[in-house]
A and B are shown apart, each in its own frame.
Chain A
Amino acid sequence: MDVLQPCRRLGKLTWLELKIFAREPMGLIGTVAIPVLLFMVLGRTLGVRLGDATSRTAAMFSVGLPVLAAVFIAISAVLSLVAIISIYRESGILKRLRATPLGPVTILVTHVLVKLILTAVTVTAMLLAGRRYYPAGDDVPMVAFMFALLLSTWSILSIGFIIASLVRTARFAPPLGSLVLYGMLPFCGLFVAIESLPSEMQVVSRFLPLRYSVSLLSGIWQGDPWSAHLGDVAALVAVFAVCTMVASRVFRWE
């Protein structure tokens, strides 16, 4: 058998799914346009006011805001995956695709790729748009920041697969997904530093991928080298490995 065949199939299905996604206006606006617009509006308003300030508040905003926006991009990508997988399963699309030579891995990897590509597009648009309005935009390592976000999204997507597997109907999957994913926000160190959280919350935060995403994203944004965040990277890979293992056990095609 042709060795490249699985790659070609993956490429074809990914391109097709991207086109199909782009045909749904609401999905495109929700995943790409709104985060970018939000960042631009906030960046412009705060950027002007905080432009010359050197206070802690200013620093918090100059790092916190882009990281928050990035985290929202990652979460909305995962929520979109949860919705799509549950709709595809409920309407028999997954089952129909599975009864072809496509193979289950190709079908699922396609959806991960689609979400990562959309995340990359969104964050690129956000950074380009932000550059004009945002004071911290000039010397930010954009490529590294994007990779940090893709790694975070990839890791959290595996949680999305577990949610999409456990919830039976397409109607309840997105709300539960929101609950779980947005529920992680208070523990991620973005609004309140992890050290000042109550000790129980600190323990919980250790098991949530968002804490490591936030740490990695803010570090990279401020110019840290990757070597300073190997622990975060390892934690995100571990979350992916564990969740993918669980998801492969509980995933249902119909």
Chain B
Amino acid sequence: MTSPPVVRVSGIRKTYGRTVAVEDVSFEVQRGEIFGLIGPNGAGKTTTMECVEGLRHPDHGRIEVFGLDPVVDIGALQSRIGVQLQEAQLQKRIKVWEAVDLWASLYANTLDADRLLDQLGLTDKRHAWFMTLSGGQKQRLFIALALINDPELVFLDELTTGLDPQARRAIWDLVRDIRERGKTVFLTTHLMEEAERLCDRVAIIEHGRIIDLDTPARLVARHCPERAVVVATAHDDAASRFLAIPSVETVDIVEDDGRLTIRGRGDDLVTEVIHCLSEHRMRVTEFATEQPTLEDVFLKLTGHSIRD
């Protein structure tokens, strides 16, 4: 990538009283990508993001957004960024169109409000009070408010927390649409599945520090190279045949029904297992591969699950 990064964070530290919320955090967000800051609640995601948005001052370190200081140049930045805050609310009895209209009145360049509401599936709710919206509708309204000024960079903080899986998937599609329109997205999430499906690159943060940063696929390949294949077969000496494959490390018989879990390393594991099945003409009633996920990466890096 030749263009300069949209966000550049170098060695920021932020404390609240004696609690260190963020310590020596550095990363860059590139133009046109979906960048995710992932980690458990209280890891420092929101603090970091709010420093980049100019809502908080870091105690140490340097932040540049489009080459500007987000605290000093907040006025110049506000027209170029869109913000969705974690757990924010609006006035209970504000109508959807009133909120969008108010936000639109604050910026010189804005998108067409009706079209935006239509794209976000809120046209029917134009005259509804904020308090009557469902969780998904509220979040879609906050996306509308974050996009109304046609920003180049959009911040989304825990966008899908508290939503049911269906609403969550609909929101993911919307976030991908934002990227398709050439925007840069900076999001935080504690949902590993969300990060894996949505983000081009992720930074894993824990106890206020970034412990690794890369594309989800490379993080998985780096920290969890193990693969597993689950096969159900009645073949007598299946286990010993699989163990003979060079990349296989262990074979566990899961249940009495002949289901085997074959574990090993390397990208060739699945191919070699399939090759072995056909070579020995084993009859297979079930076949599944198990890929490690970011969840496994997190577990490996921190020694605990993200939900603990």
Q: Which residues of A contact B (CB under 8 A)?
A: 8-9, 12-13, 16-17, 19-20, 23-24, 88, 91-93, 95-96, 98-102
In the complex, per-residue mask of B76-111: 1 if CB is within 8 Å of any chain A CB, else 0? 001100010101111111100010001101110000
- The winner among B78, B87, B102, B103 for most chain A CB atoms within 10 A is B102
Complex: how many Å from CA A38 to CA B11? 63
Complex: how many Å from CA A93 to CA B103? 14
Assess whether B90 is in contact with A96, with CB atoms less than 8 Å apart.
yes
Chain B residue with Cβ nearest A106: B106
B23 interface contact, C-beta 8 A: no
B129 interface contact, C-beta 8 A: yes
Assess whether A93 is in contact with B90, with CB atoms less than 8 Å apart.
yes
Assess whether B94 is in contact with A9, with CB atoms less than 8 Å apart.
no
Given contacts A20-B93, A24-B93, A102-B106, 9 further A-B contacts (CB under 8 A): A12-B105, A20-B94, A92-B88, A92-B89, A93-B90, A93-B91, A95-B85, A100-B103, A101-B107
B288 interface contact, C-beta 8 A: no
Q: List 29 A-B contacts (CB under 8 A).
A: A8-B105, A12-B102, A12-B105, A13-B102, A16-B94, A16-B98, A16-B102, A17-B91, A20-B91, A20-B93, A24-B93, A88-B91, A91-B89, A92-B87, A92-B88, A93-B88, A93-B89, A95-B55, A96-B85, A96-B89, A98-B55, A99-B83, A100-B106, A101-B75, A101-B78, A101-B79, A101-B106, A101-B107, A102-B106
Complex: how many Å from CA A24 to CA B103? 23
Using A9-B105, A13-B102, A16-B94 as known contacts, say yes or no to A99 and B85 having CB atoms under 8 A apart: yes
Interface size of B by Cβ–Cβ distance < 8 Å?
A: 22
B150 interface contact, C-beta 8 A: no
Complex: how many Å from CA A17 to CA B75? 24
B158 interface contact, C-beta 8 A: no
Assess whether B98 is in contact with A100, with CB atoms less than 8 Å apart.
no
Could you say which residues of chain A place their CB within 8 Å of the CB of B105?
8-9, 12
Could you say which residues of chain B place their CB within 8 Å of the CB of A13?
102
> In angstroms, how far is the closest chain A Cβ from the Cβ of B111?
16
B33 interface contact, C-beta 8 A: no
Assess whether A9 is in contact with B106, with CB atoms less than 8 Å apart.
yes
> In angstroms, how far is the closest chain A Cβ from the Cβ of B234?
59
Complex: how many Å from CA A16 to CA B95? 10
Could you say which residues of chain B place their CB within 8 Å of the CB of A100?
78, 103, 106
> In angstroms, how far is the closest chain B Cβ from the Cβ of A176?
23
Assess whether A23 is in contact with B93, with CB atoms less than 8 Å apart.
yes
Q: Which residues of B contact A (CB under 8 A)?
A: 53, 55, 75, 78-79, 83, 85, 87-94, 98, 102-103, 105-107, 129
Could you say which residues of chain A place their CB within 8 Å of the CB of B102?
12-13, 16
Using A12-B102, A23-B129 as known contacts, say yes or no to A96 and B93 having CB atoms under 8 A apart: no
Chain B residue with Cβ nearest A2: B108
Could you say which residues of chain B place their CB within 8 Å of the CB of A19?
98
> In angstroms, how far is the closest chain A Cβ from the Cβ of B229?
48
> In angstroms, how far is the closest chain A Cβ from the Cβ of B280?
62
Could you say which residues of chain B place their CB within 8 Å of the CB of A17?
91
Could you say which residues of chain A place their CB within 8 Å of the CB of B93?
20, 23-24
Chain B residue with Cβ nearest A87: B92
Chain A residue with Cβ nearest B90: A93
Could you say which residues of chain B place their CB within 8 Å of the CB of A101?
75, 78-79, 106-107
- The winner among A19, A20, A23, A102 for most chain B CB atoms within 10 A is A20
Using A12-B102, A20-B94 as known contacts, say yes or no to A99 and B53 having CB atoms under 8 A apart: yes
Could you say which residues of chain A place their CB within 8 Å of the CB of B85?
92, 95-96, 99
Could you say which residues of chain A place their CB within 8 Å of the CB of B103?
100
Complex: how many Å from CA A27 to CA B93? 13
Complex: how many Å from CA A16 to CA B106? 14
- The winner among A9, A23, A98 for most chain B CB atoms within 10 A is A23
> In angstroms, how far is the closest chain A Cβ from the Cβ of B129?
7
Could you say which residues of chain A place their CB within 8 Å of the CB of B94?
16, 20
> In angstroms, how far is the closest chain A Cβ from the Cβ of B68?
15
> In angstroms, how far is the closest chain B Cβ from the Cβ of A187?
36
Complex: how many Å from CA A45 to CA B83? 57
Complex: how many Å from CA A9 to CA B79? 16
Could you say which residues of chain A place their CB within 8 Å of the CB of B78?
100-101
- The winner among B79, B87, B105 for most chain A CB atoms within 10 A is B105
Using A92-B89, A93-B90 as known contacts, say yes or no to A99 and B55 having CB atoms under 8 A apart: yes
Could you say which residues of chain B place their CB within 8 Å of the CB of A93?
88-91
> In angstroms, how far is the closest chain A Cβ from the Cβ of B237?
63
